[in-house]
Amino acid sequence: MQKLWAQRALTLDGWKNGVSIEIGPNGKIERVDSDTEPNGEIYGCVLPAPANAHSHAFQRAMAGLTEQRGADPTDSFWSWRRLMFRFLERITPEQVQAIAAFVQMEMLEAGYATNVEFHYLHHGPGGEPYAQLAEMAMRITEAAKETGIGLTLLPVFYQYGGLDGRPLSAGQNRFGNDIERFMKLAEDSTGLVNDGPRDWVSGIAPHSLRAVAPRDLKQIASLFRDGPIHMHLAEQIPEVEETLSSLGMRPVEWTLDHIEPDARWHFIHLTQMLPHETERLAHTGATAVLCPITESSLGDGIFDGLGWFEAGGRVAIGSDSNIRISLSEELRTLDYSQRLRDHSRAALATAEQSTGRRLFEAILNGGAASADRSTGALEAGLWADMLALDTSHVDLADLQGDMLIDSFSFAGDDNLVTDVWSAGRHMVQRGQHVRRDQILAQYRSAVQELRAAY
Ligand code: ZN
């Protein structure tokens, strides 16, 4: 039994003072009481810790290295794709594990309790499957055992190189499976998850409309009756154009009419929607999984946050390419994109809730749905996913209520996060992951090997 006490905490009934929280040996919250005297370990401000709802761990090793341009001025993806293919020629399972552990550690230190891993690097160089089909998935689960992060593992179904059903290119063959081999891979991945801590979850992820044949998309969804389904959707203008010419509809229109998504579905990006798509998709109960830092980095476009919130849509946050892992920065980038587009301020705030509070509660709920995890609030019976903020820091000192989250989101950074628990596992203490040194050393040698090769 762990016992902690917070001067202030955000509960389901709003902000409370003198909050005592008891965590059972199973990692679940057992009791939450407010207006109590200090007892147990004492913290300034405790919040529920959200899930990071979208990540491709191995891409962390490419962060900051793809900012050059090639000879063709229209090809702004040149340096990104070139480096990605270089990595894909050589990256090993050992390196993937070291990178994933580093990514998960950074997620925890940023205040996330869960890594929803959209895992698509399955096979060896050239596309040759490993002796254990789920070797790479096993590397992700081994990393999660070391970091103590909550894990929702989504093996990705990736079949084609484009909407016309063309074969995979040389750079994509480590991702590819037909349905039969994917079923086996997903089964093995679920086995790995079931052998892990009890809070882990497995789902699936058809990669995108480009990578999965339309006729197979429904079949895949019907073959997996449990767990969340994630898919990239409507991220870039060329994707919209390709879908229009191949399927005669925009990607979200086509998905609405042919997949009939519901609350099991979680769509990544949605930066290319027209107002009627935003409204219809929000009403289905599907989650919009937004990755504002990566979407900025890739120049994807701006999600219609105002329209989506107005239609009652659900949102989650993910770090996607992991070019930078920062919860506070994802929140402010999302809100700032709305401000820059609309020439407005604090448009997501309501009479009852500030901008930061509304966004934070939204991603707690959406993140719980996307991770398919019993979390998202300080409430008995849920996993003890929590973060503590340093209220002695000058940016938070003497603040109350919503201003604590606003200052964390808009003025602060990850340095304000002192402690993080994932299903009761107290992995970040006094601002650092408890295994930081060894995880950093493993990551350092993995990227040294990779960088030596280009
Ligand atoms: Zn992605």
Joined together, the tokens standing for residue 211 give: 């990578």
pLDDT band at residue 347 using 50, 70 and 90 as cut-offs? confident
| Statement to judge: residues 348 and 301 lie in one domain | yes
Which residues span the domain enclosing 254? Answer: 51-371
Query: Residue 453: which H helix or E strand, with range?
Result: none
pLDDT, tens only, 181-200: 999 999 999 999 999 999 99
Range from 160-169, 212-221, 243-252 that averages highest in pLDDT: 243-252
CB neighbourhood size of 13 (10 A): 11
| Statement to judge: residues 230 and 301 lie in one domain | yes
pLDDT band at residue 454 using 50, 70 and 90 as cut-offs? low
pLDDT, tens only, 393-450: 999 999 999 999 999 999 999 999 999 999 999 999 999 999 999 999 999 999 999 9
Query: What's the rounded mean pLDDT across residues 332-356?
Result: 94
Structurally, the chain folds into a number of domains equal to: 2
C-alpha of residue 419 to centroid of ligand 1, in Å: 28
For the cut 90, the answer to whether the pLDDT of residue 333 exceeds it is: yes
Residues 6+ positions from 222 with CB-CB distance below 8 Å: none
Q: Is residue 447 part of a domain?
A: no
C-alpha of residue 232 to centroid of ligand 1, in Å: 6
C-alpha of residue 364 to centroid of ligand 1, in Å: 20
Q: Is residue 444 part of a domain?
A: no
For the cut 70, the answer to whether the pLDDT of residue 88 exceeds it is: yes
C-alpha of residue 122 to centroid of ligand 1, in Å: 15
Among 326, 350, 371, the domain boundary falls at: 371
Contact, 396 vs 45, CB < 8 A?
A: yes
pLDDT band at residue 372 using 50, 70 and 90 as cut-offs? very high
Left if phi > 0, otherwise alpha if psi is -120 to 50, otherwise beta: which for 15?
A: beta
pLDDT band at residue 322 using 50, 70 and 90 as cut-offs? very high
d(CA 213, CA 287): 22
Among 350, 371, 392, the domain boundary falls at: 371
DSSP string across 152-163:
EEEEEE---SST
Residue 302: what pLDDT? 95
pLDDT band at residue 206 using 50, 70 and 90 as cut-offs? very high
Q: Is residue 290 part of a domain?
A: yes
Residue 276: what pLDDT? 97
Query: What's the rounded mean pLDDT across residues 127-151?
Result: 98
Among 352, 371, 390, the domain boundary falls at: 371
Comparing CA positions, the residue from 268, 176, 186, 189 lying closest to residue 223 is 186
| Statement to judge: residues 83 and 116 lie in one domain | yes
| Statement to judge: residues 172 and 153 lie in one domain | yes
| Statement to judge: residues 252 and 295 lie in one domain | yes
CATH of the domain at 383: 2.30.40.10
Residue in 199, 300, 304, 320 annotated catalytic: 320
Residue 87: what pLDDT? 84
C-alpha of residue 142 to centroid of ligand 1, in Å: 22
| Statement to judge: residues 119 and 9 lie in one domain | no
C-alpha of residue 55 to centroid of ligand 1, in Å: 6
Respond yes or no: is residue 207 known to be catalytic. no
C-alpha of residue 196 to centroid of ligand 1, in Å: 25
Residue in 123, 269, 300, 372 annotated catalytic: 269
Query: What's the rounded mean pLDDT across residues 4-30?
Result: 97
DSSP string across 120-186:
---S-GGGPPPSSTTHHHHHHHHHHHHH--EEEEEEEE---SSTT-PPPPGGGTTT---HHHHHHHH
Respond yes or no: is residue 269 known to be catalytic. yes
C-alpha of residue 116 to centroid of ligand 1, in Å: 11
| Statement to judge: residues 41 and 55 lie in one domain | no
| Statement to judge: residues 202 and 297 lie in one domain | yes
**Radius of gyration (C-alpha) of the chain in whole angstroms:** 21
pTM summary value: 0.97
CB neighbourhood size of 198 (10 A): 11
Summary mean pLDDT of the chain: 95
Residue 416: what pLDDT? 98
Q: Is residue 453 part of a domain?
A: no
C-alpha of residue 317 to centroid of ligand 1, in Å: 12
pLDDT, tens only, 283-320: 999 999 999 999 999 889 999 999 999 999 999 999 99
